[in-house]
Amino acid sequence: MWAIQRAIFRRIHGTVDVTVPKLSSFSVVSPKNVEVEYADGSKFNFSAEFQRIHSPAADGKVRSIGGEKGMRIPRILEVWKLGSVNYVESLKLQERLVTERKAHRIPDTLLSLQHPPTYTLGKRRTDHNLLIPESELTKIGAELHYTQRGGDITFHGPSQAILYPIISLRDMGIGARSYVERLESSMIELASIYGVKARAGHKGETGVWVGDQKIGAIGVRISYGITSHGLAFNINPDLSYFKHIVPCGIADKEVTSLRRETETKQLIPTWRGVSSH
């Protein structure tokens, strides 16, 4: 997934340079392990890989960061590669990181992960777009969770590139619409690497599409200029899970994946091959 991580950072922050981060607000148990303590006193231990990316302010603007006025400060993005994480734990982690980011105790942070099979609903609570009784979800090995993000119902699962940026839009000087457009552009850029021509949704469509089939979903939350939730790009998930929902509330549209779109073009041999690109 490094290709899409770089695409997101390039679209928002500019050129990149990678070094190893120091996580001042969290306990780094080992180079690949981090322990997070939540507000309720509970702790969770994540297996993770970390990268810190530095970039000059691409637009050259003088910014106010952490109370310091008129300072031209390079932007930093910490990338946490977390592997497979339970959806509830990822929500709790995002909430903690948002709090830390609001207080300027951490830099912009990008969570890169996968979830076990999970359906999520946005704050509009469009339960009617779940086409299977909740009682049947355990039979197909899936969970259902309600969130405060925008957007409609969607599916998260293995072999999806799921990215949750915890970043300050105010520090970057962009608004919500521009931010969403940049997330769309990053997925379009990733698809183009593999010879797939993707596009942003037309009026009434959200996310990123290949023809009339959706390949990437976006659902974000912005609180006091700090983002959470993010995007899910279909690399090679089990597309049968999408048959149990109206994806993103758009009826009569199918879902596709990078694997499906490249079967007659440039083959993607494995999920690992994509993640290491």
The residues that are catalytic are 248
Cα pseudo-dihedral 16, 18, 22, 26, rounded to 10: 70
Task: Please give the backbone phi and psi of residue 243, each rounded to the nearest 5 degrees, phi first.
Answer: -70, -15
Rg (CA), the chain: 18
Q: How far apart are CA 263 and CA 246, in angstroms?
A: 25
- CB burial of 82-97 (b: ≥16 within 10 Å; e: otherwise) equals beebebebbbbbbbbb
Nearest to 144 by CA among 245, 220, 48: 245
Amino acid present at 237: P
